[in-house]
Amino acid sequence: MRGLACVLMFQTHCYDAWLGGEARKTRFLTGSQLLGTLPAPLFLFLAGISFALVTDKLIRKGLTPAAITRAMARRGAEILAFGLLFRLQEFLIAWGWAPWSDLLRVDVLNIIGLSMILMALLCGLTLTVWRKASDSRPEMSQSVGRWRAALVIAAIAVAALIALLTPPLHTTWRPSWLPWPLESYINGCHNLGVPQGWLFPMFPWAAFAFAGLAAGFVLFSDRARNQTAKTLGIFAAAGVVAILAAYGFDHSSVHLYSVYNYWHTSPNFLMMRVGLLLVIALLSYAWCRWGLATLGFSPLIQLGQTSLLVYWVHIEFVYGRFSILPKRVQTISAASWGLLEITVFMLILSLARTKIDWKRIEWKKMIRRVQPA
């Protein structure tokens, strides 16, 4: 799924950065941008699933809720630090024409890190409350089913709460009394006075991580591990129901909010995308278990193994100073060729990262060989 997210991300960024003139008015770009609504939810959803996997292992090892919270919050802080470092790198590369406010832009890495910190706090709090509420006070490692159900319910509740609070926090309940760098993490206002649809604030984006957290705790249960295909089939069925429900709510005459923006803040669009993620999870499993991925090398799996690296690098060659094509002047065919080049380059970079043991290379000897006598 991460590999698919990478490819969808590449096409979204390439066509957005390079298409110009009449090409920007076509349905082709509209379709590309529609597909572009999936990469960030995929990355956040998978971050939640991975978080559940690691947390599950820590609980089974018998760690206390406080120790689990510290360990997982530290992981989230590391990702958040990577996000801030990425913004610093982009600012330095674009020195001279990038505004200083770009340093404080809320990007997808920032919100992944922040979501992981929040998930750590939620898991720690839920496990602590569960232990105190349990009369027999059994060890967590010996009562797996009970704490797992509590964590799934808590994660779903938080995801729903984030979705429901998003519209007012972007409009009528805006925390405009906060400094804009802090408010931007809530609704993506940046320094522009109003929330921006191209940023990644906690509302609504963190909801995808908590949805992934709930899915992960279900998926890594003992029963689901033994019936993975069946579990993902149930996920996909639930996803279809969510998609149909979201469509029905969107076309309903009943409106909960005074200001309704389907594409940016609506809980219905968020539900639609969560449903799609659940369906994609089944399709990805089928692809890896029974599809072409079983025949040998899979570019999607390879890209997924180094998703952070290819995300970090490709941005500069698409949007940055080292863009491989002049921006906003390309035709669809020229931009598509550039997309192919970016994809191949990122695949080669990914292979170099995973297939070469860089620690074993004797760099000093190599440097001596190339030095003139």
**pLDDT value for 147:** 83
4-55: pLDDT as tens digits: 999 999 999 999 999 999 999 999 999 999 999 999 999 999 999 999 999 9
What six digits make up the tokens of 77?
């802080």
Can you spell out the DSSP letters for 236-249? HHHHHHHHHHHHHH
Dist. CA 66–CA 53, nearest whole Å: 18
Lowest mean pLDDT among 103-112, 137-146, 239-248, 289-298: 137-146
**pLDDT value for 138:** 54
Lowest mean pLDDT among 78-82, 247-251, 259-263: 259-263
Dist. CA 278–CA 239, nearest whole Å: 5
Closest CA to 256 of 195, 325, 165, 137: 165
69-89: pLDDT as tens digits: 999 999 999 999 999 999 999
CB-CB contact of 334 with 18 (8 Å): yes
pLDDT over 90, % of the chain: 71
**pLDDT value for 254:** 82
What six digits make up the tokens of 203?
């509302």
Tell whether the torsion through CA atoms of 284, 286, 291 and 294 is positive or negative: positive
289-347: pLDDT as tens digits: 887 777 778 899 899 999 999 999 999 999 988 899 999 999 999 999 999 999 999 99
| 186 CB-contact burial (10 Å; exposed 0-12 / middle 13-18 / buried 19+) | buried
Is residue 135 very low, low, confident or very high in pLDDT (cuts 50, 70, 90)? Answer: low
Determine the distance from the C-alpha atom of residue 155 to the mean position of all C-alpha atoms in its chain, rounded to a whole number.
Answer: 16
Single-letter amino acid code for the residue at 143: S
**pLDDT value for 30:** 94
| pTM for the whole structure | 0.91
141-183: pLDDT as tens digits: 556 667 888 999 999 999 999 999 999 999 999 999 999 999 9
189-233: pLDDT as tens digits: 999 989 998 899 999 999 999 999 999 999 998 888 889 999 999
**All structural domains of the chain with their residue ranges:** 2-370
Dist. CA 1–CA 71, nearest whole Å: 26
